[in-house]
């Protein structure tokens, strides 16, 4: 080891970095068990103090978060390709570029915490416990999908995940309802109600701010501000683009949504705030989507390709996190390459099944409507035609 260090020192251009690398290998037995990172300052509204700008993670946590971000990116890339092949039909909204928000939040969520979001939820569905196959098969309408292929892109669910919702902004009041249930049952849970900057001007959002504060519900309203509501920039759509202040009487936090660890600390702070009985919190995560609003939107008529490329090169959440954890000695580049290969293999295998598997039969069309199977027949489009109803999946309904 010392002879290798001496050889590296002979190169003046790389001497300092190489010596440090060698010393770190000797002292720390190659890799650190944990490291602390500094994030951008948070912007605060009606708060005397905010989240810590220092975040400490272990090597195992770094590996897990890296794998999750890569899995979401791969799933979304596969979904985009399947849509172009016309195997996925209808609406399809990709999360590529926004992975840090979901992964950072999920890293500190507890078993009793829950989430509800809009229609850009493939990544969230995976994080909340559904496999890559369960997501992709749902997108292609096959029976291995998390909803047996009947929900599709915008309607996926998992334990403590109340899904994608197709109506713009409608998930926000529902999230307050979940938080009300948390408070009523005293389970200590916090609900994260996610919505975009495009939905932030919905009247129902402001209505539910009022209700949540009146009842001091344990809910964090998370505005994922990716800069564009469909094809309209925040500057053109919102008179007040500081979404973390929109709650007025509800405190708020702005966080860099491209930094996994900053989101992690903001979420940790939010959970502590809500569980202390202080009521709701608004969190704005400044992020960016690489794709268009949906697959039908090329995403380049209202922004330039150069803008997208600049974000990819300078602010990409996966690349920046990868560089951080390698430079801190938490992981090796070889290990991350191995993870990349494993993730690709898992997603590729899921794609094959999602393309070839059979769809459910028409006999399941009206199944799984009721958790308690009291109604044996479900009325169809006329009073004279009925469908048989039962629980086809054989599983216990979730979130009851």
CA 264-266-268 angle, to 5 degrees, is 70
**What phi and psi values does residue 225 have, to the nearest 5 degrees?**
-90, 95
Q: Mean pLDDT in the chain?
A: 91
CB of 160 closer than 8 Å to CB of 113? yes
Cβ burial, residue 334 (10 Å; 0-12/13-18/19+): exposed
Nearest to residue 202, comparing CAs of 150, 178, 177, 167?
A: 167
User: Using CA atoms, how far apart are residues 199 and 116, in angstroms rounded to an integer?
Assistant: 14
Band of the pLDDT at 393, cuts 50, 70, 90?
low
pLDDT > 70? residue 13 = no
User: Using CA atoms, how far apart are residues 167 and 32, in angstroms rounded to an integer?
Assistant: 46
**Averaged pLDDT, 332-352:** 98
* 194 three-state secondary structure: strand
Asked if residue 351 and residue 378 are part of one domain, the reply reads: no
pLDDT for residue 5: 41
Band of the pLDDT at 28, cuts 50, 70, 90?
very low
Q: Is residue 147 part of a domain?
A: yes
pLDDT > 90? residue 278 = yes
Give me the helices (H) in the chain, please. Answer: 2-9, 15-28, 59-84, 99-106, 122-127, 132-139, 171-185, 203-214, 234-237, 260-273, 305-314, 317-327, 333-356
Cβ burial, residue 54 (10 Å; 0-12/13-18/19+): exposed
pLDDT for residue 394: 66
Asked if residue 355 and residue 231 are part of one domain, the reply reads: yes
Q: Is residue 134 part of a domain?
A: yes
pLDDT for residue 140: 98
**What phi and psi values does residue 45 have, to the nearest 5 degrees?**
-130, 120
Q: Domain residues for 319?
A: 30-360
pLDDT for residue 376: 85
Helix (H) or strand (E) holding 116: strand 114-116
**Averaged pLDDT, 300-311:** 95
pLDDT for residue 372: 81
Asked if residue 369 and residue 354 are part of one domain, the reply reads: no
Strands 386-388 and 219-225: unpaired
pLDDT > 60? residue 220 = yes
Q: How many domains does the chain have?
A: 2
**What phi and psi values does residue 100 have, to the nearest 5 degrees?**
-60, -30
Q: Is residue 40 part of a domain?
A: yes
Q: What pTM does this model have?
A: 0.90
Tell me: the pLDDT tens digits for 91-117?
999 999 999 999 999 999 999 999 999
CATH number at residue 195: 3.40.50.970
Asked if residue 355 and residue 315 are part of one domain, the reply reads: yes
Asked if residue 376 and residue 344 are part of one domain, the reply reads: no
Angular region, 165: left φ>0, alpha ψ -120 to 50, beta rest: beta
Q: Is residue 252 part of a domain?
A: yes
Asked if residue 290 and residue 391 are part of one domain, the reply reads: no
Q: Is residue 326 part of a domain?
A: yes
């Amino acid at each position: 080891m010392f002879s290798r260090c001496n050889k590296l020192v002979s190169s003046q251009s790389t001497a300092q970095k190489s010596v440090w690398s060698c010393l770190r290998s000797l002292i720390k037995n190659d890799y650190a068990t944990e490291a602390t990172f500094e994030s951008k300052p948070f912007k605060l509204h009606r708060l005397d103090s905010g989240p810590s700008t220092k975040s400490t993670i272990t090597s195992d946590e770094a590996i897990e978060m890296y794998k999750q971000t890569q899995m979401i990116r791969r799933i979304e890339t596969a979904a985009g390709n399947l849509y172009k092949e016309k195997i996925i039909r209808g609406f399809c909204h990709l999360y590529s570029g926004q992975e840090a928000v979901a992964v950072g939040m999920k890293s500190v969520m507890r078993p009793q915490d829950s989430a509800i979001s809009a229609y850009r939820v493939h990544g969230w569905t995976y994080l909340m416990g559904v496999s890559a196959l369960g997501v992709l098969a749902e997108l292609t309408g096959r029976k291995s999908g998390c909803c047996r292929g009947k929900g599709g892109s915008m309607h996926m669910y998992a334990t403590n995940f109340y899904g994608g919702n197709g109506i713009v902004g409608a998930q926000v009041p529902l999230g307050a309802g979940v938080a009300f249930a948390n408070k009523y049952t005293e389970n200590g849970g916090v609900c994260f109600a996610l919505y975009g900057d495009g939905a932030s001007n919905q009247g129902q959002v402001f209505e539910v701010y009022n209700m949540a504060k009146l009842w001091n519900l344990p809910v964090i309203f998370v505005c994922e501000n990716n800069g564009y509501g469909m094809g309209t920039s925040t500057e053109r759509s919102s008179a007040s683009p500081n979404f973390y202040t929109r709650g007025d009487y509800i405190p708020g936090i702005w966080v860099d949504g491209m930094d996994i660890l900053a989101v992690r600390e903001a979420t940790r702070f939010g959970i502590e705030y809500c569980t202390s009985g202080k009521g709701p919190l608004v969190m704005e995560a400044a992020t960016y989507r690489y794709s268009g609003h949906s697959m039908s939107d090329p995403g380049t008529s209202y922004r330039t390709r150069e803008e997208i490329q600049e974000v990819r090169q300078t602010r990409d959440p996966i690349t920046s996190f990868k560089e951080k954890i390698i430079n801190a000695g938490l992981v090796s580049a070889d290990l991350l390459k191995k993870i990349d290969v494993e993730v690709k293999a898992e997603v590729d295998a899921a794609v094959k099944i999602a393309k070839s598997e059979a769809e459910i039969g028409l006999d399941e069309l009206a199944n799984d409507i009721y958790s308690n199977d009291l109604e044996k027949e479900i009325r169809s489009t006329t009073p004279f035609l009925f469908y048989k109803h039962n629980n086809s999946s054989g599983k216990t309904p979730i979130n009851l």
